[in-house]
Amino acid sequence: MKFIDLEPQRERIRQLLDERIAAVLDHGRFIQGPEVYELERVLSEYSGSAYSLACSSGTDALLMSLMAFGVKPGDAVFIPSFTFVATAEVVCQLGATPVFVDIDPDTCAMCPDALERCIQALGSRAASELPAGGLSARGIIAVDLFGQPADYQRLNGLAEKYNLFLLADAAQSFGATQSAVAHGTGVCRVGKLAPITTTSFFPSKPLGCYGDGGAVFVQDERLYEILKSIREHGQGSERYRYERVGINGRLDSLQAAVLLAKLTIFGDELCLRNEVAERYHGMLSGMISIPRAADGSSSSWAQYCVRSSKRSDIIRVFKEAGIPHAVYYEVPLHLQTVYREKGLIIEDLRNSEQVAREILALPFYPYIPEGAQEEVANAIRVALGH
């Protein structure tokens, strides 16, 4: 059994992949070739975002977004502690301070009530109590953990109320939806739920390439122009003339070609992911705490994570049965020495700590056989003594 198996997908679109890759080899424009522009058009169409910018990774997408906002030392950026390290890393790379906010234990996303308490508490703290003699609140990075969008209805409202930028780290949730009133009525896809959204095309994400890749989705034209410049070493409208400090943040044409091939079946794969999740729900509900998309949201099911206080018993049975599994994330960032020192904790992060003790990711991919899911469910049944 495999935790994630990319092979069935590869064989399904093998011919298209071969053709797309051959086209890049033939035209030879490996950097900023036509596939990159085509991909950006398709991504905008699919997500509904006004602008899409392909880039080198999900981490660079976050970094470039913070650079576009001019994040600098003395700035505080509110982030969940229960996330992949990249969310905090980019804040620290720019010398700013991550302020850790607790999560909602049901969605594993940032809790809007905890966020508002932290914003208010930071505002009323004396400068002498804060690192480097003072911090000003600049922005929020929400994370759509395991594929489910955070509560953008409320987060957008808080960002406006306190004049903060809101960045959605949608590395795991590309393809998910949420009914959104703040940004036009109706259901919106990830990419349009926040003013700026980043995603990752790491191979195991819901939409993955065959290397590193990512994208930024942005609604504001000025911000888009700044991001384009940052992606190209800060270049201005003339070649080799620089207007700002940037990075090499480009996606290469081969990866864009792979993504274009995969996008032809992405919608169908999202349906398959939902079917696989429904099957797990049916096998596991009543036995263990299962993940559910909140009302008004759909998940892209980057991971299927159950929760149990008997996690170590389940892992023991999984090991005996040869069932692959993973723990995302064992240690929340505020408990990791480097980020405890660099970051700020305003109130306790008990949900993050509790979920980190209980979370367990099960084998999951669109083409997982039902028999494999049954094996997983049986192992859990044995471990829990049902």
Ligand X SMILES: *Cc1c(COP(=O)(O)O)cnc(C)c1O
Site string for ligand X, 286-305 (x = CB under 6 A): --------------------
- Residue ranges in 316-375 that form contacts with ligand X under rule CB under 6 A: none
Q: Does 83 bind ligand X (CB under 6 A)?
A: yes
For 205, residues 6+ apart whose C-beta sits below 8 A from its C-beta are 58, 171, 172, 174, 199, 302
- Please say which residue, 288 or 359, places its beta carbon nearer to ligand X: 359
Q: Does 214 bind ligand X (CB under 6 A)?
A: yes
CB 171 within 8 A of CB 84: yes
Contact residue for ligand X among 86, 115, 215, 372 (CB under 6 A): 86
Q: CA-CA distances (angstroms) from residue 134 to 123, 199, 219, 304? A: 10, 31, 31, 41
> Strands 177-179, 187-189: parallel, antiparallel or unpaired by DSSP?
antiparallel
Q: Does 78 bind ligand X (CB under 6 A)?
A: no
In the chain, what is the greatest distance between 2 CA atoms, to the nearest angstrom? 68
E strands present in the chain: 51-55, 75-80, 97-101, 136-143, 165-169, 177-179, 187-189, 196-200, 214-218, 297-298, 304-307, 344-345, 359-362
CB of 85 to ligand X, least distance (A): 8
Phi, then psi, of 225 in degrees rounded to 5: -65, -40
- Please say which residue, 109 or 180, places its beta carbon nearer to ligand X: 109
Comparing CA positions, the residue from 61, 5, 365, 372 lying closest to residue 215 is 61
Q: Does 148 bind ligand X (CB under 6 A)?
A: no
- Please say which residue, 212 or 269, places its beta carbon nearer to ligand X: 212
How far is residue 333's CA from residue 225's CA, in Å, rounded to a whole number?
Answer: 33
CB of 256 to ligand X, least distance (A): 15
CB of 214 to ligand X, least distance (A): 5
What's 234's DSSP letter?
T
In the chain, the N- to C-terminal Cα span, in Å, equals: 23
How far is residue 98's CA from residue 340's CA, in Å, rounded to a whole number?
Answer: 10
CB of 15 to ligand X, least distance (A): 27
How far is residue 168's CA from residue 144's CA, in Å, rounded to a whole number?
Answer: 7
Which residue is at the shortest CB distance from ligand X? 58
Stretch that binds ligand X, among 43-51, 107-115, 168-176, 215-223 (CB under 6 A): 168-176
CB of 344 to ligand X, least distance (A): 20
CB of 198 to ligand X, least distance (A): 8
CB of 209 to ligand X, least distance (A): 10
Stretch that binds ligand X, among 82-90, 113-121, 285-293, 378-386 (CB under 6 A): 82-90
Stretch that binds ligand X, among 83-91, 109-117, 150-158, 247-255 (CB under 6 A): 83-91
DSSP string for residues in 264-309: TTHHHHHHHHHHHHHHHHHHHTTTSB---PPTTEE---S-EEEE-T
Contact residue for ligand X among 114, 137, 141, 143 (CB under 6 A): 143
Q: Does 252 bind ligand X (CB under 6 A)?
A: no
CB 231 within 8 A of CB 210: no
- Residue ranges in 170-209 that form contacts with ligand X under rule CB under 6 A: 171-172, 200, 202
How far is residue 227's CA from residue 356's CA, in Å, rounded to a whole number?
Answer: 34
- Please say which residue, 99 or 167, places its beta carbon nearer to ligand X: 167
Q: Is 79 exposed, middle or buried (0-12, 13-18, 19+ CB in 10 A)?
A: buried
Site string for ligand X, 23-62 (x = CB under 6 A): ----------------------------------xxx---
- Please say which residue, 83 or 253, places its beta carbon nearer to ligand X: 83
Q: Where on the chain is the footprint of ligand X (CB under 6 A)?
A: 57-59, 83-84, 86-87, 143, 169, 171-172, 200, 202, 212, 214
